Structure 1
Amino acid sequence: MSLGEGGDSSADSSTGIVVVFYRPDAACVRRANRYANAGHCVVVDNTEKLQSPEQLGLDERIVYVANGANLGIATGINQGVEVLLKTGCASALIFDQDSEPSCLLLATLPELLEEQTRRGKRVALIGPAYEDARLGGVAPFVRFGFLKLQRVSPVGAQPLEVDFLISSGSCINLAAWQEIGPMDDALFIDFVDLEWCVRARARGYAVLGAPGLRLAHELGGEPVRIFGRQYPSHSPLRHYYLFRNAVALIKRSYIPWTWKSTELVKFPFRLAIYGLFLQPRLSHLRMAFVGIWHGLTGRMGRLDRS
C-alpha cells in the first residue's frame, strides 16, 4: 500500500523526507505531494528551467528548492538534508522522484533506526531491499569481497550489516551525518551513495539493511538480455559517470581494496557489454573511455559537453 493522497503515515515528526527532482512529470509531483502527509518534506529541483512550486502543483507544506541547473544527485541530497537539519529533524528519508514507498516503509525505517541507536549502536543509515521486476525481483544486500561482491539474502527479522545501500529508500541518521559529512558533490551521480557509506563505515558507523522491507525501484533504463541474463542499461552519459567515478574512487586510499578489486574485474565485461549490445555502440564506448580518462586525470563534477 502506498501513501494515499489524504492518508497519514505514522512516521515520526522528527523524520524528514528529501526528494530530488530532475525534469519531473505529473506523477513525480503527485508522489512528492503524498510525502507532505508524512512530515517535513523537501523537494530539490535540478531541472534547468526554473518553475515555482505553484506552477508544478506542489503541496504548500513542501519546502521547494529550485536550482535552475542540474547540480547532481549528491548536491541535491545535501541541500535537502541541510533544510531538515535546520528544522531539527533527527533522520532523513531519501527518495528518487520515481520511488513508490509503502506506508509501512515510511513508518518503520525511522523506528528501526531509533531502536538501533537506543541500543547504543552507531548507525549511519538503514534501508530496505529494492525490488526491480525487470531484473528478476528482489535484489540481495551487498558486502564487499575480493574479486566478487558477497550477496546477502534479505531474510530474517533483524537488520543486517552491509557495506552500502542505494540512497533511494534509505533513512539517514542526521547526528551521524554531521560527523561523516555530506555526500561528495564532485561525484555528481553514480557511486555517490557507495562513497558515503564507505566513509561512514570508516568512522565506525554501521550500514544496515532491513530485510523485511521492500522498495520498488527501477535500476537504470530498459534492461538488456545477454546470454539469458538481464543487465541494467544506461545512456552513454551515465556510462561516462559510472566509469569516471569508479576510477576516481579506485584512486582514493580510504576505499577498501575488496571493492576496488571487484570493480577492476568488472571493467572489461562492462566495456564488452556496452560496446557489443547497446546502441549506439561507439557512443557508449567513447563516453566510457572519456570517463576513464577523466577519472585518471581528476576531472570531476558535471561533464561540460561543450
Structure 2
Amino acid sequence: MKPKIAGCVVLYHPDPGVAGNIRTYMDGLDLLLLIDNSPQPRQELAAELSGTGPQLVYHFMDGNKGIAAALNKAAELAAAAGCQWLLTMDQDSHFQPGDADRLISSIGPVQEAFGKIGIITPFQQVHARFAQEQAGPFTLLRSAMTSGNLLQLSAWLSTGPFAEKLFIDYVDHEYCLRLRANGFAIIQVNEVQLVHALGHFAVRRFLGKTIGVSNHPPLRRYYITRNGLYTAVKYGLFDGRTSWFIGKGMITDLFRVVFFEQQKGKKIMAMIRGAWDALRGHFGKAG
C-alpha cells in the first residue's frame, strides 16, 4: 500500500518564485502544508496553489517562531491527518522533473534495505562530508540538511520534536544526530538531487584555492556559532567525527569572516556572543 505523504514548506516573506518551486513536487503529495513564519499572514500563495493539486492547509505561525517550531507544527498536522511521511522543504528549493516522484518511490526499497528509517534525503553536495557508507543507489549519512527530506513521522513521534530552543541553524543536524542516537538511519538516494538557491554565497580565491563564502549577516553568525557549539558538545561522545566537522567548520567560518566578508567586527562579536550563550545555556530567539 502506498504510504500517505504530506509535504510542508516553511515560508518567510515568500517571493513570486516560490509557487514554481512547490509545483515541482506537490503532485506527489496527499497533503500540502504551508507553514508561514512571516510577520503578517500572506495567503496569496495558498490561493494561487489551491485547487491544482493535493489538499492544501495554510497555517500562520503569528510571527517568526523559528524553523524548529514550524517543522513541529507541520509534523503535528501531518500526523493528525494520518500521514506516514513528511517532505520538509525550504521555500527556495525545488526538484528537477521526476525527481520528487523518484524520492517518494524509494521509500519501499530503502525500508527493505535498511530497516529502521528516520529520514530519506536527496543528494546535496554538502552531504558529502556526512557520508558514512555507500550501498549501491543509497548512501548512509551521519546528518542531512532539512530541505528535501522525507521524515518518517513514527520516528518523529518516537524521537520527540525538533529543538525549538535552537530557533534556526543546526536544527536539522541536531535532529539527525538525535534520530541516529535513537537507532534511526539517515539514507541518501543518490540519483535524486535537490536544487537549492545559494543566497549570498560567493566564491573567492586564496593561495590558489577556491574558497566558498556564505556572507551570512551577524545575527546568523550568532545562531550558527551558538547552536553549532551546543550540538558538537551534546553529541561529542555519540559521534565524535560529526562534532569534529562542526568544530572545524566554526574555525573555517571565522577565517572566512576575517579575510573575505564585510562587517567583520560585528560578525566576530556575534560569534563570540554565540559561543558564550552556548556555554552558559542561553538559547531561544536572540533579542
Asked if 1:275 is matched to 2:254, the reply is no
Corresponding residue for residue 230 of structure 1: 211
State the alpha-carbon separation in 2 of the partners of residues 172 and 114 from structure 1: 14
Corresponding residue for residue 141 of structure 1: 128
Task: Please list the CA deviations of residues 209-244 of structure 1 after superposition, one character each: whole Å capped at 9, or x if unmatched.
Answer: 111111111345222414131314112111111000
For the 8 Å contact 1:35–1:41, the answer to whether it is kept is: no
State the alpha-carbon separation in 2 of the partners of residues 158 and 275 from structure 1: 40
Structure 1 alignment gaps of length 5 or more: 1-11, 131-137, 144-149
Task: Please list the CA deviations of residues 246-305 of structure 1 after superposition, one character each: whole Å capped at 9, or x if unmatched.
Answer: 12123325652222233333433321221231111111111111111111111111111x
State the alpha-carbon separation in 1 of the partners of residues 213 and 153 from structure 2: 32
State the alpha-carbon separation in 1 of the partners of residues 106 and 46 from structure 2: 37
State the alpha-carbon separation in 2 of the partners of residues 263 and 51 from structure 1: 36
- The verdict on how the C-alpha distance between 1:209 and 1:34 changes in structure 2, with shifts beyond 3 A counting, is closer
RMSD: 2.4
TM-score w.r.t. length of structure 1? 0.82
Structure 1 residue 157 displacement after superposition: 4.2
Corresponding residue for residue 7 of structure 1: none
State the alpha-carbon separation in 2 of the partners of residues 46 and 37 from structure 1: 24
State the alpha-carbon separation in 2 of the partners of residues 30 and 14 from structure 1: 23
> Residues 90-105 of structure 1: matches in 2 within 5 Å?
90-105=84-99
State the alpha-carbon separation in 1 of the partners of residues 182 and 3 from structure 2: 28
For the 8 Å contact 1:113–1:173, the answer to whether it is kept is: no
Corresponding residue for residue 190 of structure 2: 211
> Residues 112-261 of structure 1: matches in 2 within 5 Å?
112-118=106-112, 121-130=115-124, 138-143=125-130, 157-227=136-206, 228-233=209-214, 234-252=216-234, 255-261=238-244
Corresponding residue for residue 147 of structure 1: none
For the 8 Å contact 2:3–2:84, the answer to whether it is kept is: no
Structure 1 residue 122 displacement after superposition: 0.6
Task: Please list the CA deviations of residues 5-38 of structure 1 after superposition, one character each: whole Å capped at 9, or x if unmatched.
Answer: xxxxxxx571110100011011113433565433
- The alignment-based identity, stated in percent, is 26
TM-score w.r.t. length of structure 2? 0.87
Structure 1 residue 156 displacement after superposition: 7.4
Structure 2 alignment gaps of length 5 or more: none
Corresponding residue for residue 77 of structure 2: 83
Task: Please list the CA deviations of residues 87-134 of structure 1 after superposition, one character each: whole Å capped at 9, or x if unmatched.
Answer: 11111111100111134222122221223324571111111112xxxx
State the alpha-carbon separation in 2 of the partners of residues 52 and 140 from structure 1: 34
- What secondary structure sits across from 2:58 in the alignment? strand
- The verdict on how the C-alpha distance between 1:113 and 1:55 changes in structure 2, with shifts beyond 3 A counting, is closer
- The verdict on how the C-alpha distance between 1:59 and 1:296 changes in structure 2, with shifts beyond 3 A counting, is same
How many residues of Structure 1 are paired with residues of Structure 2 in the alignment? 278
State the alpha-carbon separation in 1 of the partners of residues 20 and 285 from structure 2: 29
> Residues 34-49 of structure 1: matches in 2 within 5 Å?
35-39=25-29, 40-49=31-40
- What secondary structure sits across from 1:48 in the alignment? coil
Task: Please list the CA deviations of residues 188-210 of structure 1 after superposition, one character each: whole Å capped at 9, or x if unmatched.
Answer: 11111111111111111111111
Letter in 2 for 1:18: C
